[in-house]
């Protein structure tokens, strides 16, 4: 059975890498930049919020956010993201990628600014408004996952598609660095302008009233890069694959891509009509045909993303140990409130620079050479190895003489998360499903990942507490201990390797080949 490709789609598949590809990476990547900036900066500011709103007079230690408030402030954005991924993923297939794309960015810009304007006469009031706006910020960010991946995949050529989609995701690395740099500049400026003693010297004066501006300015800054790309997002034409294969408008698709590629493209309206009439191109998400063709693939993309994010978001478990191990962050009572933000930002930015960011770009460099499947397998394998290597001799690593080895292991775990499943789980769902279901299936896969993130960030926060009640963090019940929690995480990574076997390789294939969505010329003789 001969297979034919629409000329407009073939033109995209074989197009040389051009300026519009790089413009698309930056425009599509800004959502991830904002996503990473926001999630990263809130973890830097949590200690400051505790000092401002929850310090108990005459207490020997500065205030910290109660576990329920801490979980809500960081977790509510993850819940919003999960909801946004499902909703906008579905909407992107119903209304078109472009129509929905501006909406998500607008929500992000408005809610980033609103987060910094959170108001209230009591600590509870401020935290409630902050959580409200962070939920909707997450909702906008969630929509960017399926839409950005789908748009970039549908614009890219088949030779370097993996690298382009991975580069959109890698903008998270720049978001993390920008978050760290903004926090360093703002906290250094305020610390210099409003000098204050450490908590143990003078508890009341260690948190100057101006500290309340620090967290607000840092959160609001996240809206600026997103706002800068809004104009270009609105100027992008609808993807040819949506226009031709879903909206069935071959003429419009040929015109749009002719302008983008600067070539004349024939509008093949008959071919599109013939495609629309084929039974194999009309099945829905809940049909038996979808289950037969893509059921295993959807299981593969959802399960691997779920398992990866449990491990990835539980990194907070041993971040405390890492920083105190290197001596980058002294005890809280020896610092003032703004100085503490500076030291935490410096430590986290250095870790990001050394382990997190390089991993993303290794994926971009190698994904179209060794393929998605190999990178995902290698990543899960080494995450398993390093988690076991930290967990089993955990007591050995906690001795002062061995702490540098511990930090290296920690850094390598997250290097292989990013040069591995953290990037590939984002790329693959944008390639292996049919155009009319692509955004929806990516949204479902991404939402499954965010469910894993919620388990990782909160389930393991409780699980990793010390077995001895007297040694747990304030407000937490006893858990299974960090060592046992790490062993469980290593097993989760091992399961990720097994589930990767359900994910097909899309390297070097056109999207229509990878998703089995091509025109079948059944009226031609087999040997023709």
Conformation bin of residue 262: beta by default, left when phi > 0, alpha when psi is -120 to 50: left
Strand partners, 519: 4
pTM for the whole thing? 0.91
Segment 366-385 mean pLDDT? 96
Cα 439 to Cα 143: distance, rounded to the nearest angstrom: 10
Q: Which helix (H) or strand (E) holds 519?
A: strand 519-521
Is residue 472 within 8 Å of residue 479, measured between CB atoms? Answer: yes
User: Range with the lowest mean pLDDT among 155-169, 405-419, 434-448?
Assistant: 405-419
34/105 Cα distance (integer angstroms): 9
**What is the predicted pLDDT for the residue at 511?**
86
Q: Is pLDDT at 285 greater than 60 in this prediction?
A: yes
What is the band of 331 on the pLDDT scale with cuts at 50, 70, 90?
confident
210-256 pLDDT per residue, tens: 999 999 999 999 899 889 888 888 888 888 888 888 888 888 888 88
Residue 486, Cα to own-chain centre: how many angstroms?
22
Closest CA to 161 of 350, 517, 424: 424
Is the pLDDT at 296 greater than 80? The verdict is yes
Reply yes or no on whether the pLDDT at 270 is more than 80: no
Chain centroid to Cα 410, Å, comes to 20
Phi, psi at residue 3, to the nearest 5°? -120, 140
pLDDT of residue 317: 62
pLDDT in the model for residue 479: 77
For residue 366, pLDDT beyond 80 = yes
Residue 339 has pLDDT above 50, yes or no: yes
Where does the pLDDT of residue 527 fall: very low under 50, low under 70, confident under 90, or very high at 90 and above? very low
Residue bearing the bigger pLDDT, 520 or 479: 479
Is the confidence at residue 145, as pLDDT, over 50?
yes
Per-residue confidence (pLDDT) for residue 280, from 0 to 100: 65
What pLDDT score was predicted for residue 4?
Answer: 63
Q: What percent of the chain has pLDDT over 90?
A: 45
| Average pLDDT of the residues of the chain | 87
Distance CA 124, CA 145 (A): 32
| Range with top average pLDDT, 142-151, 232-241, 261-270, 456-465 | 142-151
Higher-pLDDT residue of 29 and 407 is: 29
């Amino acid at each position: 059975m001969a297979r034919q490709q629409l000329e407009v789609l073939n033109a995209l598949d074989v197009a040389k890498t051009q300026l519009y590809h790089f413009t698309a990476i930056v425009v599509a990547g800004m959502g991830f930049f904002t996503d990473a900036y926001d999630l990263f900066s809130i973890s830097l500011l949590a200690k400051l919020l505790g000092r401002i709103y929850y310090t108990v007079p005459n207490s020997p230690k500065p205030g910290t956010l109660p576990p329920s408030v801490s979980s809500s402030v960081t977790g509510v954005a993850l819940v919003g993201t999960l909801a946004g991924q499902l909703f906008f993923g579905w909407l992107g297939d119903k209304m078109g990628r472009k129509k929905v794309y501006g909406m998500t960015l607008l929500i992000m810009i408005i809610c980033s600014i609103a987060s910094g304007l959170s108001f209230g006469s009591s600590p509870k009031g401020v935290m409630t408004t902050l959580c409200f706006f962070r939920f909707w910020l997450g909702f906008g960010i969630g929509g960017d996952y399926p839409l950005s991946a789908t748009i970039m995949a549908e614009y890219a050529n088949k030779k370097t598609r993996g690298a382009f989609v991975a580069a959109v995701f890698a903008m998270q690395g720049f978001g993390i660095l920008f978050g760290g740099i903004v926090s360093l500049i703002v906290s250094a400026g305020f610390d210099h302008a409003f000098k204050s003693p450490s908590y143990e010297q003078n508890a009341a004066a260690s948190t100057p009233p101006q500290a309340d501006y620090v967290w607000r300015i840092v959160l609001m800054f996240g809206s600026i890069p997103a706002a800068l790309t809004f104009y270009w997002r609105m100027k992008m034409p609808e993807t040819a694959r949506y226009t031709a294969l879903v909206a069935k408008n071959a003429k419009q698709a040929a015109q749009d891509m002719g302008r983008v590629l600067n070539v004349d493209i024939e509008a093949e309206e008959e071919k599109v009509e013939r495609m629309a009439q084929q039974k194999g191109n009309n099945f829905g998400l809940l049909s038996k045909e979808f289950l037969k063709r893509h059921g295993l693939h959807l299981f593969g993309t959802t399960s691997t993303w779920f398992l990866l994010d449990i491990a990835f978001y539980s990194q907070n478990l041993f971040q405390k140990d890492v920083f105190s191990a290197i001596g980058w962050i002294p005890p809280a009572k020896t610092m003032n409130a703004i100085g503490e933000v500076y030291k935490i930002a410096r430590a986290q930015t250095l870790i990001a620079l050394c382990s997190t960011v390089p991993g993303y770009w290794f994926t971009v460099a190698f994904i179209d050479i060794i393929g998605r499947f190999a990178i995902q397998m290698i990543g899960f394998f080494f995450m398993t190895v390093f988690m076991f290597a930290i967990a089993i001799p955990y007591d050995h690593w906690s001795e002062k003489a061995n702490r540098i080895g511990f930090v290296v292991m920690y850094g390598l775990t997250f290097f292989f998360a990013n040069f591995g499943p953290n990037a590939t789980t984002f790329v693959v769902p944008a390639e292996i499903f049919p155009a009319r279901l692509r955004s929806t299936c990516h949204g479902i896969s991404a939402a499954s990942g965010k469910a894993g993130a919620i388990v990782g960030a909160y389930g393991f926060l409780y699980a990793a507490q010390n077995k001895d009640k007297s040694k747990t963090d304030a407000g937490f019940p006893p858990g299974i201990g960090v060592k046992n929690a790490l062993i469980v995480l290593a097993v989760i990574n091992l399961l990720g390797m097994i589930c990767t076997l359900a994910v097909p390789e899309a390297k070097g294939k056109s999207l229509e080949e990878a998703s089995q969505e091509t025109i079948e010329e059944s009226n031609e003789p087999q040997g023709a």
